[in-house]
């Protein structure tokens, strides 16, 4: 099978996400406002140029973290689309001029399932900007991922006993282990949970445990520990 960027049809992303309930609105979006953007958003999500752009973004990440499997990516489909900032459309235009959302797409890499997360930011003067987030099912927000990534890579790199060049250091998967201290039924701002982040360093794999907990200021802190 060809890489995603050269075989857009193979991406096979399901576009009926709004009607199937796969789009989750951020808190604060009002139901009466939803109808104003849902239909143009539905049309935009099916646009071939946008679908191709998603495929190319995933392809770029796969070439970095799993080049040995780039020729056998298959069975891509959209898992979830979560809106962070409600899309805004200008009359007569297909692409949104404002808004931000996260696409979650699953693929099979060398017959193993993997999840890709792509942050999409609409722009008033061109195509949306696509930013790859950490792969896997992490519950961490964009800001939390950024804050935790360097400490995770550093603790794994230190265990190697030698410096691994930055171009060969990647977090290739994240897995939610579960909630801590029985906080699964608490409001999101009070929840504590544990994740395992898989780090690839110079072709060696190490797993780092990442615990997230509220910081008392409306955000979250994290702690890391290497899994032996």
pLDDT tens readout for residues 158-185: 888 777 887 788 999 999 999 999 999 9
Burial of 117 (0-12, 13-18, 19+ CB in 10 A): buried
Helix H or strand E segment including 78: strand 73-88
Q: 194 and 119 in one domain? A: no
Residue 224 near residue 208, CB atoms below 8 Å: yes
* Torsions phi, psi for 131 (to 5 deg): -125, 125
Residue 99 near residue 87, CB atoms below 8 Å: yes
The more confidently predicted of residues 31 and 124 is 124
Residue where a domain terminates, one of 132, 164, 196: 132
Q: What confidence score (pLDDT) does residue 36 get?
A: 82
Handedness of CA 20, 21, 23, 29 (dihedral sign): positive
200 falls within a domain:
yes
Strands 73-88 and 23-24: parallel
Distance CA 25, CA 228 (A): 39
Residue where a domain terminates, one of 132, 151, 186: 132
Q: 126 and 18 in one domain? A: yes
**What's the chain's Rg over C-alpha atoms?**
19
The half-sphere exposure of 82 on its side-chain side, counting CA atoms within 13 A, is: 14
Q: 165 and 121 in one domain? A: no
**How much is the pTM?**
0.80
Averaged pLDDT of the chain: 83
- Could you read off the pLDDT of 53-98 as tens digits, one per residue? 999 999 999 988 888 887 777 888 899 999 999 999 998 889 999 9
Q: 113 and 39 in one domain? A: yes
Closest residue by Cα to residue 116 from 72, 56, 71, 44? 56
- The residues, ordered by sequence, that sit 6+ positions from 91 with a Cβ below 8 Å of its Cβ are none
Two tokens at 85? 């900032």
Residue where a domain terminates, one of 97, 132, 167: 132
Helix, strand, coil percentages (3-state) for the chain, rounded to 5, are: 30, 40, 30
Q: 17 and 118 in one domain? A: yes
Full residue range of the structural domain in which residue 163 is found: 142-227
């Amino acid at each position: 099978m060809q890489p995603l960027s050269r075989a857009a049809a193979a991406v096979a992303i399901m576009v009926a996400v709004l009607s199937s309930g796969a789009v989750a609105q951020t808190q604060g979006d009002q139901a009466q406002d939803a109808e104003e953007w849902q239909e143009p958003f539905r049309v935009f999500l099916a646009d071939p140029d946008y679908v191709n752009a998603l495929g190319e973004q995933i392809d770029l990440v796969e070439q970095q973290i799993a080049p040995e499997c780039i020729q056998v990516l298959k069975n891509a489909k959209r898992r979830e689309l979560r809106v962070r900032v409600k899309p805004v459309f200008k009359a007569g235009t297909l692409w949104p001029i404002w808004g931000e959302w996260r696409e979650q797409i699953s693929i099979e890499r060398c017959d193993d399932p993997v999840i890709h997360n792509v942050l999409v930011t609409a722009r008033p003067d061109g195509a949306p900007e696509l930013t790859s987030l950490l792969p896997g099912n992490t519950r961490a927000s964009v800001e939390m991922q950024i804050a935790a990534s360097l400490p995770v890579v550093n603790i794994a790199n230190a265990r190697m006993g030698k410096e691994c060049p930055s171009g060969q250091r990647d977090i290739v998967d994240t897995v939610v282990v579960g909630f801590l201290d029985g906080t699964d039924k608490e409001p999101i701002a009070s929840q504590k949970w544990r994740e395992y982040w898989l780090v690839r360093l110079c072709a060696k794999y190490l797993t780092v445990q990442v615990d997230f907990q509220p910081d008392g200021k409306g955000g979250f802190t994290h702690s890391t520990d290497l899994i032996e």
